[in-house]
């Protein structure tokens, strides 16, 4: 680092960071550690595409922050330069309908967005299928966070269109990877039989990283992201410990970045344990932020209704929700189910005295943390 090595004070134009980008959540490392088995399984499934054949379909499952998206991005970066292959990852948390998914496929195929209105799904689908046939390309589609398609009731139609494209457009070759962090969602069982019959996926599981693996991965980030001597083994071990408690590697990566910023705020050339502990209070809700990304206005209204009422029975919370949105009880119930599956709220059935059962609603995280991230 520039400056007097004997001076522990950071000057205004210096930084503890060599490359701060390394600590951003979407940075893809050159070396992807401790996922060799999973990468080999994915390569096995996708290898036919390189030879011009339809690849094997797959299901990629594992808790949040276990490297699923990074694995897809690394393999797709290797596939896309190859002639005859087009690999597209679609974020289903943002694109949670069949039309939205195919809009992203259209954009990746033609390199411009489709018109925002006036184009039917049939035409959109047909243009994508015709292009890959004309170009003699194999299309590999990764539906990342596919659980959102299931929550919205869009999974069957989306997969049916992709997996049976060759029936309506002979010569179309499409392979599909489903990526899910919802371990409670049985993807195959939830699919219609007409989809199950053609899907037949390889299943690849991404387990939580253990502490030793976390230390190894964080050491690599520290080496690339900080200047030499900024974060020592004591700091890295503490970050790894906190990360292992949460189970999400993204927490540790974000924690390192925030700790570095805290060190700079103190004008220090090194990250200390106090920087880590302070940063953890800021960083520990990374997973919550991910869950809340892209929530609709009606979903946000339901979350606020539960927060403002400090939870309560579903019928009681509905009165507040209806005032905010004007939506009926059927849609309200659907939103409860979705947010419960996402782990944003808890919806537990409780018995009413002689009057059957009702759902008791509460937030799964601290209310202030939830509302703060809704406002972002």
DSSP conformational letter for 117: S
Residues 6+ apart with CB under 8 A from 47: 55
Distance of CA 185 to the CA centre of its chain: 15
Residue 6 has pLDDT above 50, yes or no: no
Residue 376 has pLDDT above 80, yes or no: no
CB 120 within 8 A of CB 155: no
- 301 shares a domain with 279: no
**CATH number for the domain harbouring residue 71:** 3.40.50.300
- 230 shares a domain with 370: no
Structure confidence by residue, pLDDT tens digits, 159-196: 999 999 999 999 999 999 999 998 888 999 999 999 99
- 169 shares a domain with 305: no
- 249 shares a domain with 186: no
Residue where one domain finishes, among candidates 219, 254, 284: 284
Q: From CA 225, how far away is CA 23, in angstroms rounded?
A: 7
Mean pLDDT across the chain, nearest whole number?
92
Residue where one domain finishes, among candidates 284, 307, 336: 284
**CATH number for the domain harbouring residue 308:** 1.10.10.10
Written as six digits, the tokens of 239 are 């970050």
Structure confidence by residue, pLDDT tens digits, 289-308: 878 887 889 999 999 999 99
Judge whether 253 lies within some domain: yes
The bridge status of strand 202-205 relative to strand 58-61 is: parallel
**CATH number for the domain harbouring residue 269:** 1.10.8.60
Q: Crossing angle for the helix pair 121-134 and 98-110, nearest 10 degrees? A: 40
Instruction: Using only the alpha carbons of the chain, give its radius of gyration.
Output: 23
Strand partners, 350: 358
Residue 216 has pLDDT above 80, yes or no: yes
Residue where one domain finishes, among candidates 144, 173, 205: 205
CB atoms within 10 A of CB 129: 24
Residues 6+ apart with CB under 8 A from 116: none
Judge whether 259 lies within some domain: yes
Helix (H) or strand (E) holding 363: strand 357-363
- 344 shares a domain with 200: no
- 164 shares a domain with 43: yes
- 131 shares a domain with 102: yes
Residue 342's pLDDT band, with cuts at 50, 70 and 90, is confident
Written as six digits, the tokens of 216 are 């190894």
Residue 7 has pLDDT above 80, yes or no: no
- 234 shares a domain with 145: no
Residue 108 has pLDDT above 90, yes or no: yes
Rounded to 5 degrees, φ, ψ at 216 are: -60, -45
Judge whether 71 lies within some domain: yes
Judge whether 99 lies within some domain: yes
Q: From CA 220, how far away is CA 227, in angstroms rounded?
A: 12
- Give me the number of domains the chain comprises: 3
- 167 shares a domain with 132: yes
Judge whether 12 lies within some domain: no
- 198 shares a domain with 62: yes
Judge whether 150 lies within some domain: yes
Higher per-residue confidence, 348 vs 258:
258
Range of the domain at 119: 36-205
What pLDDT does 289 receive? Answer: 84
Q: From CA 147, how far away is CA 338, in angstroms rounded?
A: 10
Helix (H) or strand (E) holding 149: helix 147-151
- 46 shares a domain with 73: yes
Structure confidence by residue, pLDDT tens digits, 306-341: 999 998 899 999 999 999 999 999 999 989 988 988
């Amino acid at each position: 680092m520039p400056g007097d090595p004997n001076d522990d004070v950071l000057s205004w134009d210096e930084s503890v960071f060599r490359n701060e980008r390394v600590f951003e959540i979407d940075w893809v490392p050159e070396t992807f550690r401790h996922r060799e088995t999973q990468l080999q399984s994915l390569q096995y499934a996708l290898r036919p595409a390189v030879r011009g054949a339809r690849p094997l379909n797959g299901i990629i499952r594992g808790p949040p922050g276990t490297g699923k998206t990074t694995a897809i991005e690394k393999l797709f970066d290797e596939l896309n330069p190859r002639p005859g292959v087009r690999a597209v990852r679609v974020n289903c948390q943002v694109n949670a309908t069949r039309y939205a998914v195919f809009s992203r496929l259209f954009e990746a195929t033609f390199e411009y967005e489709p018109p925002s209105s006036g184009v039917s799904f049939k035409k959109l689908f047909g243009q994508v299928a015709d292009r890959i046939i004309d170009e003699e390309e194999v299309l590999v589609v990764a539906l990342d966070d596919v659980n959102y398609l299931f929550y919205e009731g869009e999974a069957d139609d989306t997969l049916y269109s992709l997996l049976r494209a060759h029936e309506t457009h002979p010569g179309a070759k499409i392979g599909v990877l489903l990526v899910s962090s919802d371990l409670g969602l049985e993807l195959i069982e939830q699919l219609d039989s007409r989809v199950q019959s053609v899907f037949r996926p390889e299943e690849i599981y991404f387990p939580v990283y253990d502490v030793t693996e976390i230390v190894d991965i964080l050491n690599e980030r520290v080496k690339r992201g900080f200047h030499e001597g900024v974060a020592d083994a004591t700091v890295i071990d503490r970050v790894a410990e906190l990360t292992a408690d949460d189970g999400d590697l993204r927490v540790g990566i974000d924690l390192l970045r925030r700790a570095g910023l805290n060190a700079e705020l103190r004008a220090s050339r090194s990250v200390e344990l106090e920087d880590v502990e302070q940063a953890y209070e800021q960083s520990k809700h990374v997973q919550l932020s991910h869950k809340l990304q892209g929530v609709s206005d009606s979903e946000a209204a339901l979350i606020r209704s539960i927060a403002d009422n400090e939870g309560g029975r579903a019928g009681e919370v509905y009165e507040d929700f209806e005032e905010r949105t004007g939506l009926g009880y059927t849609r309200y119930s659907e939103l409860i189910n979705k947010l419960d599956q996402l782990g944003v709220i808890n919806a537990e059935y409780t018995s009413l005295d002689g009057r059957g059962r009702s759902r008791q609603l509460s937030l799964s995280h601290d209310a202030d943390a939830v509302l703060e991230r809704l406002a972002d």
